[in-house]
Structure 1
Amino acid sequence: MELKPKRFLVLDDQLVLRKLISRQASFFSRFAVDIDEFSDPAEALRSIAEGGYHLIITDIGMPGMNGIDFIKNVARLGYRSALLIISGYDGKTLQTIADMSANLGIACARFLSKPYSAEAFVASLNGIFNEMERRAAPAASDVESLLAELSAESFRLEFAPVRALSSRKLVAFSLTALLLRDGGRLPLEKLLELLSGRRGASPAALEMLVERVARLLQDTRSACGAEECRVDIRIDEACLSADNVFDHCFVALQQYQVSPASLGFELADGLNRRSDGLCFENIAKIKYLGFRLLAGGFGQGSLTVSNLFRLPFDQVSVPMETLQWMRALRGEEPAAFQMLRSFGLGQAEVCATELDDDDAVSVARAMGCTQGRGDAVSLVVPEEELLQEIAAVPNGSPASSETPV
């Protein structure tokens, strides 16, 4: 059955710019798109009130009702989907407006600074719909059966290999999903989202996953002598705010004689002064116990630059969308992440993610990333094929970080 087109609303007081946006949307091949164009914010609001829009694209500097007031009125109407702000204001100002939009309840708010390329526009659309798909919440009724399945260990794990971009040598594995008994696939971020409303569920699931990974690492070491295989596991604030969870993970690794350095925890959420004190204690404990701490989704979500200043990250993961955005602003620049050195992070510790085609890999290398993961780098691997993937590495030992470009 053919999918219904996505409905976009475009608001800009200049006819030429409205037509340009509509034309650029025609390059977006992921979905068929229907576009309604408006020059008057009041008329746009009347159409939004009728419902049905998947994305609103708006300018900020308009006569009469400005874009900020328009966005506030959009939120008052109950619109909760996606917003793309296109304006000539500077990036920091537009980021502030996007943050305002998110705080008003709009699920996904992004921006583009004029001038921008058609490529950057399409990349923004892809990023928006990627985020919307990730946000699609699983049914809460599944929590009980999921917890039972986790306890019974009637699932398999799926990993995405992380490789050096120049040599394609294996560096690590990122735990991406659970393959459930009914044949379903549950991405790890969806698992965390599903369990976040149940007190103690996220840390309990994390401990189960760490023990399962520890057994796998022990098996692969025994079978092929791989001593330095590393696995990265995504965590959220619910995991960080639990008492003793990382002590339990440490004990599980000791039980299977696996080094803590073989495990990395990728932080999905940022921390602020309102975060539970246990979160900061557990960040320190991760480092003290010898685990690695990774920043997930640089340039997205709540992991802000202030988190990079304050938290002792060993690696930063940079999604393709952020790389496209940086390239649109700066061009291809191998030293784009040089600033991370001031945070105590070497350039070799930048890993590009969501590399789904060869062009994405080229962009990542041009922007100075030395590691990456995604379908263009290596397809995902179920746990029963993990040994085969590691055994294919020369000398049975994954590569360490390559020399920075």
Structure 2
Amino acid sequence: MELKPKRFLILDDQLVLRKLISRQASFFSRFAVEIDEFSDPAEALRSIGEGGYHLVITDIGMPGMNGIDFIKNVARLGYQSALLIISGYDGKTLQTISDMSINLGIGCTRFLSKPYSAEAFVASLNSIFNEMERSAAPKIGDVAQLLAELGGESFVMEFAPARSLANRKLASFSLRSLRLPDGRRLAFDRLLALLAGRRMASAALLEIVVERAARLLQHLRVSAGIDDCRVDIRIDEACLCADNVFDRCFMALQQYEVSPACLGFELADGLNRRSDAVCFENISKIKYLGFRLLADGFGQGSLTISNLLRLPFDQINVPLEALQWMKALLGEDPGAFRLLKSFGLAQAPVCATGLEDEEGIALAKAMGCGLGAGDAVSMIVPEGELQQEVAAVPGGSPAPNGSSVEEAR
């Protein structure tokens, strides 16, 4: 079935710049695109009020109604899809306006500072639609039926590889989505959010995917001699609130003779004094049982400075958007994460996530990230192709069977 075109609205009072943006948008090959151009903010608002736009692109410095007031009016109309701000203002100012837009309810917001390249523009579009696809709530009518379906092995796990930004050596695989037989792709973080309000549902899901991951890791060890492949799985506070869930995860790995060090848990939810005591007990168990603990969504999730000080993280995952605002605040600083040493995390690697193009990779390197994940680093890998991904030598041929991950790198 052919997808309907995506509708873009472009607002800029300067004809040349408006036509340039329109032409750059036409290079976006991911979807067919229909573009409406406006020079008058009031006319653009009337069109937005009629509905149907997937993306609004706006300048800030315009006569009459400026871009800030335009965005506020867009939000008042109930528009919640996506916004791309293009302006000559400095990065700090645009980040502030972007934060304002998000707080007004336009959840998917990006900005570009002029001048920018056509590649950066297309990368922003890709980033926007990637986020929109991830945040789309899965259509699930019966949670119990879904868990039964997942428990029946009727899904495929899909992973995002993380690699060294220096030499592209493989570091780990992060579980990103589950693909069902009917073609639905459920982003794992969104699935956890959906189940969070249902007692023990998140823990049940976690146990299902951990056991599946344990069998996958056992298969890699037995069939290819790969015994140090690492898999990371997202958890949230609902998972941490479940008694003995990580004990059962540990038992699943023991059953398949897989080392707990091969499994990491990515936490983006912050904990505080009001969090259930069992949450802190489970954090302790993660470390006591030999699992790895990763701080996910640094700069965007609800992890606080006190969490970084107190929780024993082994790795920090930093989204590209957080790197962009850090650059706006600090400039390009290879020591941007030196503060981690103050938190007892001097040896914790920093992984930049959501890298969509070479410009994102360059920024991650410039800000001192040693690892990276995203389409520009390595595409999403279904579980059936994990062995080939592990065995592949960057720029070379697959390593022979029996080689360890280190040899395969």
TM-score (norm 1): 0.78
Q: Determine the structure 2 residue equivalent to 1:68.
A: 68
CA-to-aligned-CA distance 1:187-239 (integer Å, 9 cap, x gap): 43343344344332122101221122223334443455444221111223433
CA-to-aligned-CA distance 1:371-403 (integer Å, 9 cap, x gap): 445566556554455556657657632239x9x
Q: Determine the structure 2 residue equivalent to 1:97.
A: 97
Of 333, 336, 339, the residue aligned with 2:336 is 339
Gaps of at least 5 residues in structure 2 are 392-397
Of 396, 399, 403, the residue aligned with 2:403 is 396
Question: Does the alignment pair 1:122 with 2:122?
Answer: yes
- Structure 1 stretch 116-125 or stretch 358-367: which is displaced more? 358-367
- Shift, 1:154, TM fit: 3.5
Whole-angstrom distance in 2 between the partners of 1:187 and 1:132: 11
- Shift, 1:263, TM fit: 0.9
Percent identity of paired positions between Structure 1 and Structure 2: 70
Whole-angstrom distance in 1 between the partners of 2:94 and 2:358: 31
Q: Secondary structure at the match of 2:336?
A: helix
- Shift, 1:249, TM fit: 2.3
Q: 2:91·2:328 contact (CA, 8 Å) conserved in 1?
A: no
- Shift, 1:162, TM fit: 3.8
Whole-angstrom distance in 1 between the partners of 2:385 and 2:147: 25
Q: Determine the structure 1 residue equivalent to 2:314.
A: 314
Whole-angstrom distance in 2 between the partners of 1:60 and 1:357: 26
Aligned residue identity for 2:339: S
Q: Determine the structure 1 residue equivalent to 2:36.
A: 36
Q: 1:295·1:303 contact (CA, 8 Å) conserved in 2?
A: no
Q: 1:84 to 1:164 in 2, by over 3 A?
A: closer
- Structure 1 stretch 312-321 or stretch 44-53: which is displaced more? 312-321
Q: 1:54·1:82 contact (CA, 8 Å) conserved in 2?
A: yes
Aligned residue identity for 1:217: L
Whole-angstrom distance in 2 between the partners of 1:393 and 1:351: 25
Whole-angstrom distance in 2 between the partners of 1:390 and 1:30: 28
Q: Determine the structure 2 residue equivalent to 1:157.
A: 157
Q: How many residue pairs get matched?
A: 396
- Shift, 1:368, TM fit: 5.8
Q: 1:383 to 1:32 in 2, by over 3 A?
A: closer
Aligned residue identity for 2:155: F
Whole-angstrom distance in 2 between the partners of 1:377 and 1:319: 14
CA-to-aligned-CA distance 1:243-288 (integer Å, 9 cap, x gap): 4433432343344443322111123x35275973555554454344
Superposition pairs of residues 211-222 of structure 1, within 5 angstroms: 211-222=211-222
RMSD: 4.0
- Shift, 1:75, TM fit: 1.8
Whole-angstrom distance in 2 between the partners of 1:95 and 1:280: 34
Q: Secondary structure at the match of 1:140?
A: coil
Q: 1:348 to 1:366 in 2, by over 3 A?
A: farther
Whole-angstrom distance in 2 between the partners of 1:240 and 1:304: 14
Q: Secondary structure at the match of 2:406?
A: coil
Whole-angstrom distance in 2 between the partners of 1:59 and 1:281: 50
Q: Determine the structure 1 residue equivalent to 2:248.
A: 248
Aligned residue identity for 1:203: A
Q: 1:39 to 1:273 in 2, by over 3 A?
A: farther
Whole-angstrom distance in 2 between the partners of 1:86 and 1:307: 35
Q: Determine the structure 1 residue equivalent to 2:394.
A: none
Superposition pairs of residues 198-213 of structure 1, within 5 angstroms: 198-213=198-213
